[in-house]
Structure 1
Amino acid sequence: MKLLIADDNPVWRKLMQAAVAPWGYRVVFAENGREALEALQSDDPPRLALLDWLMPEIEGVEVCRRIKQNPEAPFTYIILLTSRDREEDMIEGLDAGADDYLTKPIVAALLKSRLASARRIVEAVPPAQWTKPQVNGFEVHHLIGKGAFATVWRATHVATGRLAAIKIIRADLATDLVFERFAREVQVMRKMDHPGIAAIYASHLDREFAYYAMELIEGESLGHYVASQKPKATKIIEMMAQVCDALQHAHSQNIIHRDVKPSNVMVGRDGQPKLVDFGLSKSMFRAYSAPSSNETSEGAVLGTPLFMSPEQARGEAERVDHRSDIYAVATMLYLFLLREHPHGVNSMGREETIQTIATTDAKRASSINEKFNPQLDDILAKCLSTDPDARYQTAGEFAKALRDFLHDRAATRSGIGHS
């Protein structure tokens, strides 16, 4: 079986080459992320891959994400290699679709056993796609996405005729952490009933067969929508108000999202945003005692760094509440309107981004663009306060402030600072 070893460090490449040489793999090498991606997208791609997390040109975790998000690509078992050994890094790697995760330095015996296990899994998975499942109450049409432990299928709900996306987890392969997160996401989604949140139609959870069927959103992520459609600033602001409406509903169900970002907001063909992926969510009234095996340790830094609130970046779990979601929405709006991050971390690495957000104040929008509308500047500054008590205290208040601004602007026709 062909094995890709991708690492920009020649010493590590030689060490791994020497280790795997007796094990019967056909080894190909990549010195950077671009070469790794090209190898995995070739006509005869490796079915096993060892990807270093940090590589020039494209990070290994991003290579993994691109391969796993391509529904046309054959199943490739990807093991991320990194010196990062924290739980949140492991979760980020798994979220990118990684099938396994090894920290350096790597013990040869452990690598051998992991590759042997990976090979058994790859040999059990058809190269083109997984077998079409039978889901009670749904007519399953075709595969629209797959990752390490799950596939997503386009289907029709027979009773209503509604299109659905069915996410099926391979419970036999999923780790306890992955299965428990999947179960928590289902539990949270079933509480939601709002037009701005993707609806869940049905679910089933056990170790033999686990899935949930949700509303199929035919569109693109908010980030792609803004980049491709280039909507006016007023449209973006109204969409952010709609995201706040959805968050207000989630918060009213005592659920904090904790990972609000452009890729977790889908825009349908009608141009309406819908909030998705409550996989990192938690109860607003969770008691912070000693964490159990299926909970995130107190103090862990979870979520996407660019959209973290300062309290998230500092790992202050007891202070992360619904106002952290408000901070994330304000960060998105700031980035869309100014093309700059409020903490100036656009091109920083993960660790530096977290440290900067944790220790610096957000910049006023007017410091980036002196013509930026003062009313909107004040709204953003309030949301981006380091102190959660100084922010809007509900997502509904933030939505109202944005809509009041749009109303006032329509009356005065003053500029926003970005067309």
Structure 2
Amino acid sequence: MNKYKVLEEWGAGAFGVTYLVEESGGGRKFAVKKVECMDEREGNLTLEEAMSLLELQHPHICQYKEFFMVWDNKISSLFFCLVMDYCDGGNLERMVQENRQQGTIINEKIIQRFLGQIIDALNYIHKKSISHRNLKPSNVLLKRDGDFFLISDFLPQTLATDEMKMKIRVDP
């Protein structure tokens, strides 16, 4: 994580913690998902499996920049880190909540565009034999201009099937 400065922690999910980061020296912003590995073997398998995610090129899939492993001396644990594009428009979950609070209905054309874009992205990854494994409204990101919906937060199967990842680490 030396290449990045952590700006904010977005919170912990079932599979890890996500951060908003900036390239050192004030560069571009990215999202980094940090997922704990059970051991070095699992870390290596995850890294190998994740390489196919770097090749995903689709207008409605959040682009991955790089992956790396980091050792946390404080808790003696190995973490797999996924660096992905930062989307500045929030996510579908927040969009629905805001509309609900305001008592407004999301425009039908927006829903049709959203569904078309997501189905197109899912069709693309399935043709490449990749499953999302964690698709939910908070993992559908919006661009600030509201024009694009992007699927994010892909996880390598090695991490997604480990039952221990379903428990969030609680540090004293």
Would you call these one fold, judging by a TM-score over 0.5? yes
1:231 and 2:101 equivalent? no
Q: CA deviation at 1:225?
A: 1.6
Over 3 Å counting, the alpha-carbon distance change for 1:181 and 1:225 in structure 2 is: farther
1:210 and 2:80 equivalent? yes
Structure 2 match to 1:137: 3
Q: CA RMSD in A?
A: 3.7
Over 3 Å counting, the alpha-carbon distance change for 1:170 and 1:212 in structure 2 is: same
Over 3 Å counting, the alpha-carbon distance change for 1:161 and 1:252 in structure 2 is: farther
TM-score by length of 2: 0.64
Q: CA deviation at 1:138?
A: 2.3
Structure 2 match to 1:249: 124
Any residues of structure 2 matched to 1:148-297 within 5 Å, and which? 150-158=16-24, 161-171=27-37, 174=38, 183=47, 186-205=50-69, 208-229=78-99, 230-271=105-146, 272-279=148-155
Q: CA deviation at 1:240?
A: 0.9
Please, which runs of 5 or more residues in structure 2 have no aligned partner? Answer: 72-77, 100-104, 162-172
C-alpha distance in 2 between matches for 1:161 and 1:274:
22
Deviations 1:324-366 (A, max 9, x none): xxxxxxxxxxxxxxxxxxxxxxxxxxxxxxxxxxxxxxxxxxx
Any residues of structure 2 matched to 1:310-389 within 5 Å, and which? none
Q: CA deviation at 1:255?
A: 1.7
SS state at 2:90 partner: strand
SS state at 1:218 partner: coil
C-alpha distance in 1 between matches for 2:160 and 2:13:
23
Q: Which amino acid is 1:136 matched to?
A: N
Please, which runs of 5 or more residues in structure 1 have no aligned partner? Answer: 1-134, 282-292, 297-419
Structure number with greater Rg is 1
TM-score by length of 1: 0.30
C-alpha distance in 1 between matches for 2:12 and 2:98:
25
C-alpha distance in 1 between matches for 2:154 and 2:136:
12
Over 3 Å counting, the alpha-carbon distance change for 1:200 and 1:159 in structure 2 is: farther
Q: CA deviation at 1:204?
A: 0.8
Q: CA deviation at 1:190?
A: 1.5
SS state at 2:62 partner: coil
Q: Which amino acid is 1:201 matched to?
A: K
Contact kept, 8 Å, 2:89 with 2:143, in 1: the verdict is yes
Give every structure 1 segment of 4 or more consecutive aligned residues whose post-TM-superposition deviation is greater than 4 Å.
Answer: 178-185, 206-209, 293-296
Q: CA deviation at 1:254?
A: 2.7
Which is strand-richer, 1 or 2?
A: 2
Q: Which amino acid is 2:11 matched to?
A: G
Percent identity over the alignment is 26
Q: CA deviation at 1:185?
A: 7.3
Deviations 1:9-38 (A, max 9, x none): xxxxxxxxxxxxxxxxxxxxxxxxxxxxxx
C-alpha distance in 2 between matches for 1:187 and 1:181:
10
Deviations 1:45-85 (A, max 9, x none): xxxxxxxxxxxxxxxxxxxxxxxxxxxxxxxxxxxxxxxxx
C-alpha distance in 1 between matches for 2:90 and 2:35:
23
Over 3 Å counting, the alpha-carbon distance change for 1:145 and 1:179 in structure 2 is: farther
Over 3 Å counting, the alpha-carbon distance change for 1:140 and 1:192 in structure 2 is: same
C-alpha distance in 2 between matches for 1:205 and 1:160:
23
Structure 1 match to 2:167: none
Q: CA deviation at 1:237?
A: 0.5
Structure 2 match to 1:365: none
Contact kept, 8 Å, 1:259 with 1:280, in 2: the verdict is no
Over 3 Å counting, the alpha-carbon distance change for 1:147 and 1:236 in structure 2 is: closer
Contact kept, 8 Å, 1:184 with 1:279, in 2: the verdict is no
C-alpha distance in 1 between matches for 2:62 and 2:118:
12
Higher relative contact order (CA 8 A, sep 6+): 2
